[in-house]
Chains A and B, each alone.
Chain A
């Protein structure tokens, strides 16, 4: 175990980087008309003597790393000292990067990546080429010792698409899917169209402003009674039609010729009208499945499938479209091919006290909003008529919030407008949370969340407002499922 330092060229690299910083700050001042270049030199000298050189040296000498038979250890940091231990078995990828300068100097950047969601876990910037190869080969040897069978996927197998389960979106279906999608794209199109028209015909702002602020109200004023209403309704219908039309166009452009092919290890996806997007999602990178719908789509039996993934590439982390538009049986067929499961017959509900907590929250939000807007507009008090809607929302959220554990999966349903169902396999559980805010504690309520890799903060499968006992039981059940899976591995 020898302690190693980075290649000495690192000093030059980082000093160059720090010089660039001061250049960026100073160049604009030098460009100034009445700049006094005589103070420039002292500033630069002080910067290098007090900041750039000491920090570069300190960072270089504080940075040490070494490899043991089981892990890579990295010590770093000037003021905040950090000691990082990365076990080999956690390393997913070691990237070696050589840019122009590095190549000339015979150095490389080594990036050590684990599955952790934070930024690249270990960066050795810079080491010489031989050292980069050594680190890579250590990992390779370790892998061969521990896992004789390569875990990597077989390289590109010819996909005989006919024999594999395939999902395609017919053009008719594609248009239908657009029908359920409203988009405000037309607002942007109208805006740029107007700008273009302005330039083309040399109109100035005043003309268009006059049209917007005078002619439209004039039409409105000119009519009386029913004509006025007809005008308002006509404008609304036009806006909705435009939103509808642009929704269809967007959907067609994005998902034209959608095709999903499933082989034993991967999902192959291909779609798009102008830009054809092709993607491969290895099944073992899939963390959770999300079946989505909204009230209107649900009414006619249409659903979407989203897939939560993590990958070696950070762009692959997050939610990806699995199927943009299909019936529930079709969605389930594909989903079950990815991870075999059946939707449980019965779900549990959270505590009814959630209705009380949510109602109070929404009513307070509404009152604050009305109080603020009534200082600006004296008719704002009418919005208080929305109070029953708050109560209904709270009730419906309770009704639609359900969960179940069955067959090694956690199922969580939630959402009034965007209705989602998470399907999380127990072997993808990462960390368990049980939280309770002050108000929740007063009502004896808890929130339980199973954290997964590649999830989203604003759309998580947290089970909100369980009764305290139920929450404790659920935590135990989930943890037991998780450990059971651990034992069977």
Chain B
């Protein structure tokens, strides 16, 4: 009797047309459930935080309060920060992060492809690049501030350096992993070295490069914020630093929230770009996982 309970029931009533319909229903149900669980998680964390601080189980002086963060954001939107409007701070930080990102990606791809293609260069420069990568590059931030002043340039540089290494190592590896059959085939067909890079090496390495961009943009924002933290006249990092100095945890968290929103937006844009550029692939893995 017990065995009968485990017989596999036919999922459909035998009609093929019902298969996609049922699959779609199942998918919709799944999605609904995921979103409900996400909302519940958020509610528990934020609600718990609010309640625990209201009941003084944890001290709102150190941990801030969701309601306080909301008030802080409203206040910034209305009156601005002590360094000008909040939009200006966002714009400055974004500008630094984006410029640094662009410089770092360009440099990383160019050096990655060059060193990946030219063995001699890779052998000569390899140890130095590894050594530089091993340095805690955040420290460079203070040096850049000394060299380049309190303006945006020092932050762009820091963000660029952080991004460079992430992209460089991926581009280098991607170039090294190019299928040798592809290269041999292109050579037999009469391709010049430059044509091989353009038609074979770069597109092949693109999967690796784009994968690194997700991490790289995070680093660009870190670079910009830390740079501002170390010394700046404007920007979200400076807002955080001054909130911290005024014992205002709500301010720190509010700025963090803004940064998180910016980072998520950028992440979504990069995913878009990824889907566009890698449309030839059977299925982008990013589609299947975190979206």
- Does B bind A? no
Interface set of A (CB-CB < 8 Å, partner B): none
Interface set of B (CB-CB < 8 Å, partner A): none
